[in-house]
Chain A
Amino acid sequence: MSAILQASAITKRFPGVVALDRVSFDLVPGEIHALCGENGAGKSTLIKLLSGLHPAGSFEGELFLDQKPTSFHRVTDAQHSGIAVIHQELALVGELTVAENLFLGNERRRRGFLDWEKTWTDARELLAKVGLAISPDTLVRDLGIGQQQLVEIAKAIARDMRILILDEPTAALSEHEVQTLLNLLRELRAQGIACIYISHKLEEVFALADRITVLRDGATIATINTAETDKTNVIRHMVGREISQLFPRHISHPGAETLRVSNLVVAPSADEKPFLNDISLHVRAGEVLGIGGLMGAGRTELMMHLFGAWGHRLQGEIFMGDQPLQNRSPQAALDAGLALVSEDRKRYGLILDESIGFNFSLSSIRNLLRGLLIDQEAEAHANQKYFDDLQVKAPSLETTVNTLSGGNQQKVVIGKALMTEPKVILLDEPTRGIDVGAKLEVYELINQLTTDDRAVILVSSELPELIGMSDRIVMLHEGCISGEFSREEATPEKLLAAAMGQTLSPVTS
Chain B
Amino acid sequence: MKKQFSIRDFSLLLSLLAIWTFFALAAPQYLSARNISMLSVELAITATLALGMLLVILPGHIDLSVGSGVGLVGGIASVLVFNHGWPAGAAFGIAIAVAVLAWTLMGALIVRERIPSFIITLGGLLIFKGAFWLVIGSRTVPVAPGGQTNLYSLLTTYYFPPAVSWTLGLGVFAVWIIMTLRGRARRKALGFTVDDKELTFLKLFLTGQALTLTILLLNQFRGIPLPLVILAAVALAIHILTRHTPFGRQLYAIGGNEEAAFISGVPVQRIVIGAFMVLGGIVAITGLMQTAYAGASTTTIGDQMELDAIAACVIGGTSLRGGRGSVIGVIFGALIMASLLNGMTLLAVSPELKLIVRGAVLTLAVWMDVKLTKR
Q: Which A residues have a C-beta under 8 Å from some C-beta of B?
A: 307, 309, 329-331, 333-334, 340, 342, 347-355, 358, 362-363, 365-366, 369, 372-374, 376-377, 380, 384, 396-398, 416, 420
Q: Are B249 and A330 in contact (CB under 8 A)?
A: no
Which B residues, 249 to 265, have Cβ-Cβ distances below 8 Å to chain A?
Answer: 249-250, 252-253, 256-257, 259-265
Chain B 286-329 interface mask (CB, 8 Å, partner A; 1/0): 00000000000000000000000000000000000001100000
Distance of A329 Cα from B190 Cα, bound (Å)? 34
Q: Are B257 and A342 in contact (CB under 8 A)?
A: no
Q: A353-B323, A398-B193 are in contact. Are A374 and B240 (CB under 8 A)?
A: no
A342 to chain B: which residues have CB within 8 Å? 263
Residue B359, interface by CB 8 Å: no
A334 to chain B: which residues have CB within 8 Å? 265
B256 to chain A: which residues have CB within 8 Å? 351-354
| A55 CB → nearest B CB, Å | 15
Which residue on chain B has the smallest CB distance to residue A370?
A: B244
Q: Are A397 and B263 in contact (CB under 8 A)?
A: no
Question: Can you list 25 contacts pairing A with B, beta carbon distance less than 8 Å?
Answer: A309-B263, A329-B265, A330-B262, A330-B265, A340-B263, A342-B263, A347-B260, A350-B257, A351-B257, A351-B261, A353-B323, A354-B253, A358-B249, A358-B252, A362-B250, A362-B266, A363-B264, A373-B244, A374-B246, A374-B249, A380-B190, A384-B190, A396-B191, A396-B193, A420-B265
Chain B 176-193 interface mask (CB, 8 Å, partner A; 1/0): 000000000010001111
B260 to chain A: which residues have CB within 8 Å? 347-351
How many of B's residues come within 8 Å of A, CB to CB? Answer: 28
| A418 CB → nearest B CB, Å | 13
Contact with B249, one of A349, A350, A362 (Cβ below 8 angstroms): A362
Distance of A398 Cα from B190 Cα, bound (Å)? 11
Q: A350-B260, A397-B192 are in contact. Are A331 and B245 (CB under 8 A)?
A: no
Q: A354-B323, A362-B249, A365-B250 are in contact. Are A330 and B263 (CB under 8 A)?
A: yes
| B345 CB → nearest A CB, Å | 39
Q: Are A398 and B265 in contact (CB under 8 A)?
A: no
Residue B267, interface by CB 8 Å: yes
A330-B263, A348-B259, A384-B191 given; 17 more Cβ-contact pairs under 8 Å: A307-B263, A329-B267, A331-B266, A340-B263, A347-B257, A348-B260, A348-B263, A351-B253, A351-B257, A353-B324, A354-B253, A362-B249, A362-B265, A374-B245, A374-B249, A384-B190, A398-B1
Chain B 182-219 interface mask (CB, 8 Å, partner A; 1/0): 00001000111100000000000000000000000000
Q: Which B residues have a C-beta under 8 Å from some C-beta of A?
A: 1-2, 186, 190-193, 240, 244-246, 249-250, 252-253, 256-257, 259-267, 323-324
| B298 CB → nearest A CB, Å | 41
A348 to chain B: which residues have CB within 8 Å? 259-260, 263
A333 to chain B: which residues have CB within 8 Å? 265
Q: A331-B267, A363-B265 are in contact. Are A376 and B186 (CB under 8 A)?
A: yes
A420 to chain B: which residues have CB within 8 Å? 265
* Most chain A C-beta atoms within 10 Å of own C-beta, residue among B2, B191, B252, B264: B264
Distance of A353 Cα from B244 Cα, bound (Å)? 19
List 8 tightest A-B contacts by C-beta distance, closest first: A351-B256, A334-B265, A331-B265, A380-B190, A373-B244, A348-B263, A365-B246, A362-B264
